[in-house]
Structure 1
Amino acid sequence: MAASAPDQVDAPLPDALTGHWVDTRAPSAVRPYLKLARIERPIGWWLLLLPCWWAAGLAAIAAGKPFPDPWHCLLFFVGAIVMRAAGSTFNDIVDRKLDAQVARTRGRPLPSGQVTTRQAAAFMIALSLVGLLVLLQFNRFTIMLGIASLGIVAIYPYMKRITNMPQFVLGLAFSWGGLIGWSAAFGRLDPPAYLIYAAAIVWTIGYDTIYAMQDIEDDVIAGIKSSARYFGSWTREAVALCFALAAVLAGLATWSAGGGLIAWIGLAAFAAHLGWQVSRLNGAPPQLALRLFRSNRNAGLLLAAGFALDALVRAGF
């Protein structure tokens, strides 16, 4: 491991959960790798996982099954944690020089010298192999679909250098589970899958714009592009539009899959949560922006629960 001061290894990162076991109990030797994997920031894998569960719930409704396939949902859970870790490590390798210029990210393992680039790359490869093992548990169509997502994952870290909307590319990658969750059940893609994928994309643009509000001043200095910088004084309205589109597209997916009353109640709860976020957004300081961003886990779980419960009730359980 690259030489680093003990306080760099031990210090929690600004957007990490307070008192997380990674910062309090994990051995110092492995702590930088756990931070590369964002283990102490679980919101990322939740946001990667939720579109998988949305699509799995819709698939259960469409197939008349009482619940999403439990084995698939477990695989999605493991895969989301592992592939978010691999993607974050790759992102940190590419962004290590930019991260050193931003207050929120300069304490990360690579810019602070806690690990070398070679060590981070080896860690990323190991994580990717575990992700491949998870992917191989699905049908052939889903395996190929999962592999196809790697191109988007590979280009995402470079987008903040060349486009004002890197959040759109992040949405393409983070929402891929909306396709995977459906194809795992049917071995093909149908309109509900495309619609829930589109809903997840605009949802991602909205919540990641909130996240980017934390770094606007440092991003200007470092030359990093983001939707929060691009929208400027219209950020609240832009997020509101993204969230409204997410609700509408999720509604179309619900209708297309044949969702019933409980699915629509779940969608209404999801939309209400998004509206609550927008109501708090105007002039939000960085800590509030982070809390609102994290709250999207709860918003997504409301929708996932609505779909799963609707499948259960409609199947007569």
Structure 2
Amino acid sequence: MENPAAPSLPDAVRGHWAERWAPAYLKPYLRLARIERPIGWWLLLLPCWWSAALAAIAAGQPWPNPVHCLLFLIGAVAMRGAGCTYNDIVDRDLDTRVERTRQRPLPSGQVSLKGALVFLALQGLAGLLVLLQFNGFAIATGFASLGIVALYPFMKRFFWMPQIVLGLAFAWGALMGWAAAFGSMSWPAVLLYLGSIAWVVGYDTIYALQDIEDDEIAGIKSSARFFGERVKLGVGLCYALTVLFMSAAFAKAGAGPLSYAGLALFALHLGWQVARIDRGDGAGALRLFRSNRDAGLILFAAMVLDCLV
């Protein structure tokens, strides 16, 4: 470790506790896990919570299993950190060519490759301990996602839509809540998963607008570059598919009016994002990307209310 006091990255939350209070020797590792950027674990967690709520609706339960929801929270933080660490290990050379990423702990020398590998193993162990609290089918479902997670960092080198692979991984929680509740898989969860994939592709296309110029120089492929001037149309189509698949999931699970009302508010939020997209405004793209946490929480709250009613 060469520079534990290096400044936080441009898209980090200003004044985050990890930057203000964490010991200097831990800060580079917390940055490696993106702790100071909590939006990532929120976006990984929300499909898990949606799935748990959808399972509760289908089963006629008054609320999603609170123990499952807590375990998903812990697991999302651990596995998002592990995924980011793995991604940075794979991308440590590419990251030096992009303005926003060249100060990450590995390319900037704040963390050694050996230290990153040890840290990855510790986070993976934490995620495993969480996964083992579920039933056997849910455990197997969780393990099935690892191949996609391992593949994702390499896709941007040759696939114009790496966000699809990211979606396959980041939306996996839409299957996990149902698997944890029922010990099996069914169409409502599959449809929710498909909708969540489209959601991930949409919001990560917005996120990728921050790097579009540097990505062109470095030869990194992304959906933002693929859509080009038609990025609003591309994101709009992704979000339309999100709402379509989620509506089908609600219908299959027997959801009530409150769930559909929440989905309508969710859809309005997504439409607002599309209307505000500006290819030349990287800071605005980051704000729109982060706003998906609020959109997802609105939908989850409506589903929980549906359970109660």
Mapped partners of 1:282, 1:290: distance in 2: 11
Residue 227 of structure 2 is matched in structure 1 by: 231
Q: Give distance in 1, aligned partners of 2:193 and 2:28.
A: 33
Deviation of the 1:25 alpha carbon: 1.9
Query: Is residue 2:107 matched to residue 1:111?
Result: yes
Alpha-carbon distance between aligned partners in 1 of 2:284 and 2:39, rounded to the nearest angstrom: 15
Question: Match for residue 49 of structure 2?
Answer: 53
Tell whether the 8 Å contact from 2:192 to 2:249 is kept in structure 1 after alignment.
yes
The corresponding residue for 1:171 is 167
Check 1:65–1:284 CA distance in 2 against 1; reply closer, same or farther (3 A cut). Answer: farther
Could you give the per-residue CA deviations for residues 240-264 of structure 1, whole angstroms, max 9, x where no partner exists? 0000110111111111100001111
Structure 2: distance between partners of 1:216 and 1:135: 36
The 5 Å alignment of 1:97-136 reads: 97-136=93-132
How many residues in Structure 1 have an aligned counterpart in Structure 2? 309
Query: Pairwise mapping of residues 126-275 of structure 1 onto structure 2 (< 5 A)?
Result: 126-275=122-271
Match of 1:306 in 2: 302
Post-superposition CA distance 1:10-31 (Å, at most 9, x none):
4110110011122222111000
Q: Counterpart of 1:3?
A: 2
Deviations 1:165-184 (A, max 9, x none): 00000000000000001010
Q: Distance in 2 between matches of 1:302 and 1:194?
A: 21
What is the aligned counterpart of 1:277 among 273, 283, 297?
Answer: 273
Tell me, in whole angstroms, the C-alpha distance in 2 between the residues paired with 1:216 and 1:114: 26
The answer on 1:18 being equivalent to 2:14 is: yes
The sequence identity of aligned pairs, in percent, is 61
RMSD between aligned residues: 0.8
CA distance in 2, matches of 1:148, 1:245: 24
Flag structure 1 segments of 5+ consecutive residues without an equivalent: none
Distance between the aligned counterparts of 1:24 and 1:107, measured in 2?
A: 18
Cα separation, 1, equivalents of 2:252 and 2:53: 13
The 8 Å contact of residues 10 and 23 in structure 1, kept in 2 or not, is answered as no
Q: CA deviation at 1:283?
A: 3.7
Q: Secondary structure at the match of 1:162?
A: coil
Q: Deviations over 1:127-166 (max 9, x none)?
A: 1011000000000000001001000000000000010000
Deviations 1:66-90 (A, max 9, x none): 0000000000000000000000000
Corresponding letter in the other structure for 1:296: N
Paired amino acid for 2:302: G
Conserved? CA contact 1:10–1:28, under 8 Å:
no
**How far is the alpha carbon of 1:284 from its aligned partner?**
4.9
* Displaced runs of 4 or more, over 3 A: none
Output the TM-score relative to the length of structure 2: 0.99
Distance 1:136 1:291 in 2: 36
**What letter matches 2:129 in structure 1?**
L
Counterpart code for 1:56: A
The yes-or-no answer on 1:292 pairing with 2:288 is yes
Unaligned runs of 5+ in 2: none
CA distance in 1, matches of 2:63, 2:79: 25
Distance change >3 Å, CA 58–CA 284, structure 1 → 2: farther
